[in-house]
Amino acid sequence: MPVLPPHVVPELWLMAICSPPIVVVFFYFAAIEPWIKPWDETMPTTVPLKPVPEKHNLGAAMARLRHRWGWFVALGALAVLLGIAALVLVVSATIATVYVIAIFIVIAGGSEVAIGLGSATWGRFFLWIAAGLCYIVAGAFALARPLHAAVALTLLLGASLIAAGLFRVSIGLHMASGPRALTIFAGAVTALVGLLVILGWPGNSVVILGTLLGVDLLFTGLTWIGFGLRLRAQTL
């Protein structure tokens, strides 16, 4: 099992903690903020007796976002750069992925503990508290031993891909019409990828999560760039 150099730990923590807020800020200015001001300006000063249903128009929604096309392109470019960095520094990307997953696990565990403290019965109290503490312990272990956690997550990923692929194949076999062959093919490919992950485990644990993260960021970034350029073309 490779050992994580001590000087790399602060950089990975910075990557894991700062990446989600950057995406949130971009998403706010690109997609949420344009709706706030028009909604405030059109908000009636008095509450109507009967609610007036508003017609949702996709064209109007696209028109509101046309002048924000640059934010989408910038977000896509950032995602592409992060994806390339993840594929180049695949081990660091794997550890950063484990850190992010561990943080969310700890947050989920804290939420379950809070729910348990507000439970009305002792049975639910102990159930929620026990589940929350298990989440917190698992998240803390992943934060303390990211490479060991990557081994467990990679095994879970491979098993999940096999299960999902077999489920899709089963759905395709029971389809009377429609994309039956395509569904079966997609399920077979998913199950095959999961099988390859399992066969390469645990030696591939330090690269699988980082590689998947990099590929996902690349495709996500290209999608946002394409969406932003489409909005720009509509403004011309």
How far apart are the C-alpha atoms of 12 and 14, rounded to whole Å?
A: 5
Q: Is it the case that residue 41 has pLDDT exceeding 80?
A: no
Range name among 17-26, 51-60, 73-82, 112-121 with the lowest pLDDT average: 17-26
**CA angle centred on 26, ends 22 and 32, rounded to 5°:** 135
| Three state DSSP letters for 144-188 | HCHHHHHHHHHHHHHHHHHHHHHHHHHHHHCCCCCCHHHHHHHHH
Give 90-114 pLDDT, tens digit per residue: 999 999 999 999 999 999 999 988 8
- Whole-number average pLDDT of the chain: 78
Give 124-169 pLDDT, tens digit per residue: 778 888 888 999 999 999 999 998 999 999 999 999 999 999 999 9
- Mean pLDDT, residues 55-70: 70
Q: Is it the case that residue 55 has pLDDT exceeding 60?
A: no
What pLDDT is recorded for position 80?
93
Q: Is it the case that residue 7 has pLDDT exceeding 90?
A: no
Q: Is it the case that residue 84 has pLDDT exceeding 90?
A: yes
How far apart are the C-alpha atoms of 157 and 162, rounded to whole Å?
A: 9
Give 165-208 pLDDT, tens digit per residue: 999 999 888 887 767 788 888 889 999 999 999 999 888 888 99
What pLDDT is recorded for position 142?
92
pLDDT band at 83 (very low <50, low <70, confident <90, very high): very high
Q: What is the DSSP letter of 32?
A: I
What pLDDT is recorded for position 61?
67
How far from the centroid of its chain's Cα atoms is residue 18's Cα? 15
Q: What is the DSSP letter of 46?
A: S
The residue with greater pLDDT, 212 or 31, is 212
Those residues whose C-beta lies under 8 Å from the C-beta of residue 26, and which sit 6 or more positions away, are 71, 74, 75, 78
- Mean pLDDT, residues 27-49: 48
- Mean pLDDT, residues 208-221: 90
What pLDDT is recorded for position 232?
82
What pLDDT is recorded for position 68?
79
pLDDT band at 52 (very low <50, low <70, confident <90, very high): low
How far apart are the C-alpha atoms of 164 and 160, rounded to whole Å?
A: 6
Distances (CA, A) of 151 to 129, 145, 207: 27, 10, 10
- The answer to whether residues 188 and 61 touch, using CB atoms and an 8 Å cutoff, is no
If you search the block for the tokens 């439970």, which residue do you land on? 119
Distances (CA, A) of 111 to 122, 128, 139, 222: 18, 9, 13, 35
What pLDDT is recorded for position 64?
73
